[in-house]
Structure 1
Amino acid sequence: MAVGGATMDGRVPRDFETLRTTILERRTSLPKRIAQIAAYALDNPDDIAFGTAASIAASAGVQPSTLIRFAQQLGFDGFTSLQQVFRERLRERNSSY
């Protein structure tokens, strides 16, 4: 179980796999709109990495403020901090070629 929005050990997820696992473990206990953006994030990680809050929210069918609440539920300061994990996933994937 996550503590204060972070992972079981109290840390904020810093890599995509840890973040993905955290989201999957917690998604059934998330409020409806936050669960909606969580599902969208897992299905569309590239959009999360490079989209704007407004464009991501529109695509996911939520308000932009929901993105901030989603990030905070996971222990991040805000959406930009969460977005960095999605961007790093792409950097790591591209550097392995």
Structure 2
Amino acid sequence: MDEQVPRDFETLRATILDRRESLPKRIAQIAAYALDNPDDIAFGTAASIAASAGVQPSTLIRFAQQLGFDGFTSLQQVFRERLRERNSSY
């Protein structure tokens, strides 16, 4: 993808919201789940997240790639960093 990969949660959230209407059905389903359950995305396994969201684990990889990431783990790092930033502000 020629667009810049979101590196922080707010940029990622804005990107997901901006693209939500044009995403395929299952990828849109995981996008909605990710925005509603960011802590689960941060620390869950691909299998557990997929089961909770009602999609196949491969959908998580396609979702991450749709946003410009190499794979799900790279996307997951943005969700984890969100929690680190939130906890460091205390």
| TM score, norm. by length of structure 2 | 0.98
> Can you list the C-alpha shifts for 1:33-85, whole angstroms capped at 9, x where unaligned?
00000000000000000000000000000000000000000000000000000
Identity percentage of aligned residues: 94
Q: CA deviation at 1:10?
A: 2.1
5+ unaligned residues in a row in structure 1: which ranges? 1-7
In terms of fraction of residues, the more helix-rich structure is 2
Aligned match for 1:31, one of 24, 34, 41: 24
Unaligned runs of 5+ in 2: none
* Counterpart pick for 1:88 among 76, 81, 87: 81
Report the aligned-residue RMSD. Answer: 1.3
TM-score, normalised to structure 1, is: 0.91
